[in-house]
Amino acid sequence: MKKVVITVLLVLSFLCVVSLVQACNLVPVLLNQDPYPATQGEYVKLAFQLQGIENPDCGKVTFELLNQYPLVFDPNTTASYSLDAGTFVQDYSPYSIITYKVRVDKDAVDGDNPIEVQYSSAGSQGEILKQFNLNVGDSQSDFEVFVKDYNYATKDLSLEILNYGKSKAQAILAEIPKQGTINITGANKNLAGDLDANEYTSIDFFGSPVDGQIQVLLSYTDAAGIRRSVTKQITYDSSYFINTKPSTGGLSWINVLIVVVILAVIYFLYKRYKKKKSK
């Protein structure tokens, strides 16, 4: 009988321990991100709620937002928090709210970017990881550049620039670096101004290109106020602009017209002279 009582007590004790462990059920939730979507290179505010912390059996609770891509923490940012289970926030809600203000990496990709938190309680076996999505809106632009026209007489090379990105590009500066496929006369940099998404403009350089690839460097300020640069390769094919090249021999149509006029005048004077002579 004594053994039976001891066995029952042990079973009850085990069930109580299991019940206590199961009772501490922490559930972190990403409550809000502001702004939505976040902007590359800018700050974003994140609010997490830790449900289940109202249970005092959880004991000491830790919560940390991991400092890893696409997040960039300032040096004074507090990443880890320690909380006492069984307490309430000011509005007496049965969870704690933990907020962060961190910067988004300037090269974060457009769309959902995974971020991670880790948390633990007195009864948990080590840290628990959970992943959330940070939504980022692409503030960068991209461009299509091509040769619009070339004038052999003036050596005017006209380039067309199209902003096919989702965001506005400001203070666009186009540069043609020194290279073997083109000899620039004068300035090798030209301001293209601002371009909204799907907007285009033309810029002019003066020089002598040869058939092949020409490298063009575009610098611009994106929607987040970050100065960026992209390099584009454009193709120059002289056969597309052969009609603009002046003739190297023979008579031009203007010269032909002048000759015709002179001959007509000579013929008229000759006929007039012959008519007077016949009289």
Q: Is 0.85 topped by the overall pTM?
A: no
Q: Which residue has the higher pLDDT, 235 or 260?
A: 235
Residues above pLDDT 70, as percent of the chain: 82
The residue to which tokens 């840290």 are assigned: 127
Tokens coding 144: 């299509």
pLDDT band of residue 130 (cuts 50, 70, 90) is: very high
Question: Hey, which of 1-10, 123-132, 145-154 has the most confident mean pLDDT?
Answer: 145-154
CATH topology of domain 25-137: Immunoglobulin-like (2.60.40)
Q: What is residue 83's predicted lDDT score, i.e. its pLDDT? A: 87
Residue 271 banded pLDDT, cuts 50, 70, 90: confident
The rounded Cα 209 to chain-centroid distance in angstroms is 31
pLDDT band at 2 (very low <50, low <70, confident <90, very high): low
Query: Does 156 have pLDDT greater than 90?
Result: yes
Give 87's pLDDT tier (boundaries 50, 70, 90): low
User: Tell me, what's the pLDDT at 190?
Assistant: 96
Give every strand in the sheet of 169-175, ordered side by side: 189-195, 169-175, 212-221, 227-236
State which fold the 143-244 domain adopts. Immunoglobulin-like (2.60.40)
Task: Convert the pLDDT of each residue in 226-236 to its tens digit.
Answer: 899 999 999 99
Task: Quote the tokens at residue 260.
Answer: 């015709």
Burial of 157 (0-12, 13-18, 19+ CB in 10 A): buried
| 2-16, 31-45, 188-202: segment of lowest average pLDDT | 2-16
Domain boundaries, given as residue ranges, for the chain? 25-137, 143-244
Whole-number pLDDT of residue 77: 93
Predicted confidence band at 123 (pLDDT cuts at 50, 70, 90)?
A: confident
- pLDDT on residue 192: 96
- How many C-beta atoms surround the C-beta of residue 81 within 10 A? 17
Same fold, 25-137 and 143-244: yes
Q: What is the mean pLDDT of the chain?
A: 85
